[in-house]
């Protein structure tokens, strides 16, 4: 796999390729000819219009089949914007683009310089040269958001305004549009409409949470989509499981639906016939009740599918807190504080947070989640010290702890302290600095990295 730098390019193999950008982002694409201009609304691919000839978007993954693009198309530009409208990209984890071939083999990765106030970023373009296709890394940002992006791609931007009564005049007769308008791209900035409350589930849940002193949750359409897909997978297999018969975990379905999370919980159940029975089951059992009452969750979804050989009904409930601009730093800080608390108990000096170690740790957690592996050695053979050096660290001694599946900083630090090898890293007297990484997704749901240096 090649690591691209801004302006770098690489030939693509024949056939389709997939482009994935994990994290709290919306992925979209613009299909153009050599002029770099769109022909119309059909040339925009985003979550409200997820397919066009030769291009299909599913969650955070864009699949492009160049021979099937519309006639005249010679370029596909990959764009990311914050999933939370109006958030500057500089307040989110740095986006990283992963490209794989039709067989799932990695081709290239591109991590652009960290954006600042930009709200839209052109990450890369797939383009035709002669009879072959290549990918070029871009990293160009727009501080004026989708409107600035649209103008550069030949879109007439219509600024909507609400006039006062004195300013209102009869509307002119409609004229045929000579160029595409901004209406489609404006939809990108409109928050997704929450799914309706299925059979009173939300009312039942929030009543129970109020009784436990927990704040209410709201329904999320992306979680509902993932919950339904997983319930259907379990029904088709006739068994409960975090991983479906298709080899996809419930966490991977969540991130594929475009929901990046900081905290996650799930309940997989068969038997109840109604949402009321499902909630009653949860309240009777300690583990499910604790999840339903957990004050950390802000979103929820419930889905059920009846099927399989037994005809049973399979339920998937999802509980989550989305990844937010301040959530990831707070999580990292909590891990550092808990780690230093353990060092203080052992009479050791605290570890200082190091920017390079943090960059390397965060990138590695995101990579493990995105590529569904779990090891101190990456698929390319890099080791912790290689990754630290690549991030700009000049530390002479490097140590690494990783973990997966834990749901909170307290849980992951406790797990490391209960493991002799990980405990030894946390309590190593020579270490002076630390960086923390966290990512949600993959088969395990959460991936944690502690990178130590001296």
SS3 413: helix
Closest CA to 76 of 68, 66, 84: 66
3-state secondary structure of 331: helix
pLDDT value at residue 173? 34
CB contact at 8 A, 242 and 284: no
Name which of 154, 146, 122, 134 is nearest 35 in CA terms: 154
| Angle, alpha carbons 244-246-252 (nearest 5°) | 65
> What pLDDT is attached to residue 309?
62
Give strand pairing partners of 266: 318
pLDDT at res. 189: 39
Report pLDDT for 188.
Answer: 40
Q: How far is 202 from 89, CA to CA, in rounded Å?
A: 32
pLDDT at 155: 57
Give me the pLDDT at residue 223, please. Answer: 92
pLDDT of residue 262: 92
All residue ranges of the chain with pLDDT < 50 are 157-195
Can you read off the two tokens belonging to residue 168?
């209102």
How much is the pLDDT for 425?
96
Dist CA 169 CA 352 (whole Å)? 63
CB distance 90 to 115 below 8 Å:
yes
| CA 168/CA 210 separation, integer angstroms | 47
| pLDDT at residue 273, as a whole number | 87
> Residue 163, class by beta-carbon neighbours within 10 Å (0-12 exposed, 13-18 middle, 19+ buried)?
exposed
């Amino acid at each position: 796999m090649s690591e691209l730098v801004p302006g770098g390019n690489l030939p693509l193999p024949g056939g389709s390729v997939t482009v994935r950008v994990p994290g709290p982002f919306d992925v979209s694409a613009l299909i153009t000819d050599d002029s770099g201009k769109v022909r119309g609304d059909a040339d925009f691919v985003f979550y409200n219009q997820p397919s066009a000839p030769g291009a299909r978007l599913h969650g955070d993954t864009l699949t492009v089949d160049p021979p099937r693009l519309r006639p005249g198309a010679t370029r596909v530009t990959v764009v990311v914007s914050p999933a939370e409208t109006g958030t500057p990209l500089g307040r989110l984890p740095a986006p990283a683009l992963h490209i794989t071939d039709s067989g799932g083999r990695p081709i290239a990765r591109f991590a652009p310089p960290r954006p600042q106030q930009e709200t839209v970023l052109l990450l890369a373009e797939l383009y035709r040269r002669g009879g072959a296709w290549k990918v070029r890394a871009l990293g160009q940002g727009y501080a004026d958001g989708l409107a600035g992006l649209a103008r550069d791609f030949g879109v007439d931007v219509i600024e909507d305004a609400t006039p006062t009564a004195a300013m209102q005049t009869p509307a002119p007769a409609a004229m045929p549009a000579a160029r595409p308008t901004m209406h489609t791209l404006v939809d990108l900035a409109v928050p997704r409409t929450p799914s309706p409350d299925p059979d009173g589930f939300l009312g039942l849940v929030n009543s129970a949470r109020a009784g436990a002193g927990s704040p209410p949750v709201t329904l999320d359409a992306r979680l509902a989509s993932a919950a339904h897909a997983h319930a259907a997978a379990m029904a088709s297999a006739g068994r409960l499981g975090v991983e479906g018969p298709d080899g996809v975990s419930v966490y991977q379905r969540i991130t594929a639906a475009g929901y990046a999370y900081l905290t996650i919980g799930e309940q997989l159940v068969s038997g109840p016939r109604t949402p009321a029975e499902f909630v009653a089951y949860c309240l009777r059992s300690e583990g499910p009740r604790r999840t339903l009452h957990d004050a950390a969750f802000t979103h929820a979804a419930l889905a059920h599918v009846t099927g399989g050989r037994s005809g049973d009904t399979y339920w998937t409930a999802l509980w989550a807190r989305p990844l937010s601009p301040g959530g990831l730093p707070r999580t990292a800080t909590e891990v550092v504080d808990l780690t230093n608390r353990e060092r203080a108990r052992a009479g050791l000096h605290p570890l200082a947070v190091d920017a390079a170690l943090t960059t390397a740790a965060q990138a590695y957690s995101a990579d493990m989640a995105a590529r569904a592996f779990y090891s101190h050695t990456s698929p390319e053979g890099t080791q912790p010290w290689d990754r630290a050096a690549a991030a700009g660290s000049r530390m002479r001694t490097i140590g690494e702890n990783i973990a997966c599946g834990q749901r909170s900083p307290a849980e992951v630090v406790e797990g490391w302290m209960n493991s002799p090898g990980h405990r030894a890293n946390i309590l190593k007297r020579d270490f002076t600095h630390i960086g923390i990484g966290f990512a949600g997704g993959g088969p395990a749901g959460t991936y944690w990295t502690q990178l130590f240096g001296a």
